[in-house]
Amino acid sequence: MNQSTQLRPLMFVGTGSDVGKSIIVSAFARIFLQDGYHPAPFKAQNMALNSYATPEGFEIGRAQAVQAEAAGVPCHTDMNPLLLKPTTDMQTQVVLHGKPIGNQSAYEYFRKEGREALRAEVYGAFDRLALRYNPIVMEGAGSVSEINLREVDLVNMPMAIHAGADVILVADIDRGGVFASVYGSVLLMTEEERRHLKGILINKFRGDIRLFESGVKMIEELCGVPVVGVVPYYHDIMIEEEDSVALQTKNLKANAGKVNIAVVLLRHLSNFTDFNRLERDPRVHLFFTNNTDEIEKADIILIPGSKSTIDDLYELRKNGVAQAIVQAHRQGKTVMGICGGYQMMGQEVCDPEHQEGDVERLPGLGLLPIRTVMTGDKVTQQVTFRMKHSDVPCKGYEIHQGRTSVVDGAQAEAVNVMADGAEEGCMVDRTCLGTYIHGILDNSAVVDFLLEPFAEKMETRKAFDYEAFKEEQYEKLAAHVRQHVDMELVYKIMTQHD
Q: Is the pLDDT of residue 99 over 60?
A: yes
- Does 317 fall in a domain? yes
377 burial (CB, 10 Å; 0-12 / 13-18 / 19+) is: exposed
pTM of the model: 0.82
Q: What is the pLDDT of residues 170-190, one digit of tens each?
A: 999 998 899 999 999 999 999
What is the structure's pLDDT at 448?
A: 93
Judge if 317 and 454 occupy the same domain. yes
Judge if 380 and 416 occupy the same domain. yes
DSSP 439: T
- Does 41 fall in a domain? yes
Judge if 220 and 276 occupy the same domain. no
- Does 165 fall in a domain? yes
- Does 244 fall in a domain? no
Judge if 157 and 43 occupy the same domain. yes
Judge if 141 and 274 occupy the same domain. no
257 burial (CB, 10 Å; 0-12 / 13-18 / 19+) is: exposed
Identity of the residue numbered 141: A
What residues act catalytically? Answer: 339, 438
Residue 34 and residue 402: Cα distance in Å, rounded?
Answer: 43
DSSP 134: B
- Structural domain count of the chain: 2
The 3-state DSSP class for residue 95 equals: strand
Q: What is the pLDDT of residues 404-454, one digit of tens each?
A: 999 988 888 999 999 999 999 999 999 999 999 999 999 999 999 999 999
- Does 374 fall in a domain? yes
- Residue 408 CB coordination number (10 Å): 7
Q: Which residues pair with 88 in a beta bridge?
A: none
Judge if 386 and 485 occupy the same domain. no
Judge if 396 and 482 occupy the same domain. no
Residue 316 and residue 265: Cα distance in Å, rounded?
Answer: 10
Judge if 131 and 271 occupy the same domain. no
β pairing state of 45-47 and 82-86: parallel
- Does 153 fall in a domain? yes
Judge if 145 and 287 occupy the same domain. no
Judge if 350 and 208 occupy the same domain. no
- Does 243 fall in a domain? no
95 versus 257: the higher-pLDDT residue is 95
User: Dihedral of CA 92/95/101/106: which sign?
Assistant: negative
Q: What is the pLDDT of residues 68-91, one digit of tens each?
A: 999 999 999 999 999 998 876 677
Judge if 334 and 234 occupy the same domain. no
Q: What is the pLDDT of residues 37-63, one digit of tens each?
A: 999 999 999 988 788 999 999 999 999
86 burial (CB, 10 Å; 0-12 / 13-18 / 19+) is: middle
Domain containing 426: what range? 258-458
Q: Which residues pair with 96 in a beta bridge?
A: 82, 99
Judge if 185 and 319 occupy the same domain. no
The answer to whether the beta carbons of residues 69 and 478 sit under 8 Å apart is no
- Does 1 fall in a domain? no
Check which CATH number belongs to the domain holding 439 and give it: 3.40.50.880
| Weakest mean pLDDT among 9-13, 103-107, 400-404, 440-444 | 103-107
Check which CATH number belongs to the domain holding 213 and give it: 3.40.50.300
Residue 95 and residue 103: Cα distance in Å, rounded?
Answer: 9
Residue 412 and residue 427: Cα distance in Å, rounded?
Answer: 6
User: Dihedral of CA 258/264/267/272: which sign?
Assistant: negative
In sequence order, the 6+-apart residues with CB closer than 8 A to the CB of 208 are: none
